[in-house]
């Protein structure tokens, strides 16, 4: 006699992360078979794969052939690039804005590639300090500019929702590479 598999069990079998999410829900006291949670393990798995998709690419592939000859050596600044990431300590979001400046040597990068580089590193489990440094280091590596400055300001849900519970606080980090002034 064949035993019939519960619909949830059949759907979880094709996603290796989903059964673990179902177990977490159970440990939290939830019934993962109630209607509102039937698809949650799969949805969570899909969301986490998207939010951590930055492991699948490297800076060179993101930049591609979008490096061009510089016509002068003036400062280039891209401001207010929105980003979001997940804190590696609590798996809670942090989000904010990045400001990236560089002094070209002989090459400039397509402007849209700077937000793409930020996104690449932000879509990994992170701490803000490392994220800031990774963006600066990637620009140094692909462009070889005279200098790079990256400033990131973010709100961390691990501070707002738990622990100290300070909803209006923000964290500012900066990374400076090469010769670049405070101006």
- Read off the pLDDT of residues 67-90 as tens digits, 9 standing for 90 and up: 999 999 899 999 999 999 999 999
Please report, for the domain that includes residue 156, its CATH number. Answer: 3.30.1130.10
Domain annotation covers residue 1: no
pLDDT by residue (tens digit) across 1-59? 444 444 444 444 578 999 999 999 999 999 999 999 999 999 999 999 999 999 999 99
Nearest residue to 111 via CA among 67, 55, 154, 150: 67
Cα–Cα distance, 178 to 96 (Å, whole number): 25
Looking at the structure, do residues 111 and 174 belong to the same domain, yes or no? yes
Domain limits for position 82 = 60-178
Domain annotation covers residue 183: no
- What pTM does this model have? 0.88
Looking at the structure, do residues 77 and 46 belong to the same domain, yes or no? no
Please report, for the domain that includes residue 33, its CATH number. Answer: 1.10.286
Q: How buried is 113 (Cβ within 10 angstroms: 0-12 exposed, 13-18 middle, 19+ buried)?
A: buried
Domain annotation covers residue 2: no
């Amino acid at each position: 006699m064949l035993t019939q598999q519960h619909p949830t069990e059949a759907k979880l079998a094709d996603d290796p992360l989903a059964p673990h999410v179902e177990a977490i829900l159970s440990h939290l006291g939830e019934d993962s078979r109630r209607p509102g949670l039937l698809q949650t393990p799969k949805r969570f798995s899909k969301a986490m794969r998207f939010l951590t998709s930055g492991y699948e690419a490297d800076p060179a592939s993101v930049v591609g052939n979008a490096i061009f000859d510089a016509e002068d050596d003036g400062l280039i600044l891209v401001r207010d690039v929105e980003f979001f990431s997940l804190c590696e300590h609590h798996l809670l979001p942090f989000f904010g804005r990045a400001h990236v400046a560089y002094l070209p040597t002989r090459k400039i990068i397509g402007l849209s590639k700077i937000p793409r580089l930020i996104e690449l590193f932000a879509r990994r489990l992170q701490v803000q300090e490392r994220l800031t440094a990774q963006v600066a280091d990637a620009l140094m590596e692909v462009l070889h500019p005279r200098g790079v400055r990256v400033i990131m300001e973010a709100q961390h849900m691990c501070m707002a929702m738990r622990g100290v519970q300070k909803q209006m606080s923000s964290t500012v980090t900066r990374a400076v590479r090469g010769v670049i002034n405070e101006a």
